[in-house]
Amino acid sequence: MAGMLDTHLRNSKACQVKIRYFGFKSLNNDVKQLDLILIPTPVLALKFMVRQPIILALHVTLIKLEVLQMFMKEISSLRSLTFTSVPYITFSLYPGAKDCLKNLSELRCCSNISTELFYQLSQTCYNIQSLTIEFKRIISNGIADIISVQRSLKQFDMILYDDYSMANIIFSLMSKVPKTLIKLGIYSSVYCTPSLSFIANFSNLQELELSFDLEEFFVDFEKLQYVIFSQLQVLKIWDAFPSDGLLIKFLENNGKNLKEIYIGEIEDCNDNSLNLAISKFCPMLTKLSTGIKNNELETLKIIFNSCKYLESIKIWCGGVIKKFKVTDFDDDEYNI
pTM score: 0.76
DSSP β-ladder status, 20-21 and 44-45: antiparallel
Amino acid at 116: E
Sign of the torsion angle spanned by Cα atoms 290, 295, 300, 305: negative
Q: What is the mean pLDDT of residues 180-205?
A: 88
Residue 16's pLDDT is 32
Burial track 18-38 (b if 16+ CB lie within 10 A, e otherwise) = eeeeeeeeeeeeeeeebebeb
pLDDT: which is higher, 271 or 228 = 228
Distance between CA 234 and CA 206 in Å, rounded? 6
DSSP 267: T
C-alpha 111: how far from chain center: 14
CB 75 within 8 A of CB 101: no
Distance between CA 297 and CA 272 in Å, rounded? 10
DSSP string, 51-88: S-HHHHHHHHHHHHHHHHHHHHHH-SS--EEEE-S-TT
* pLDDT tens-digit series, residues 118-143: 888 898 899 999 999 998 888 888 89
Structural domains of the chain in order of their starting residue, each with its CATH number = 50-329 (3.80.10.10)
Residue 60's pLDDT is 55
Average pLDDT score over the chain? 75
* pLDDT tens-digit series, residues 13-56: 333 333 333 333 334 444 445 444 433 333 333 333 334 444 44
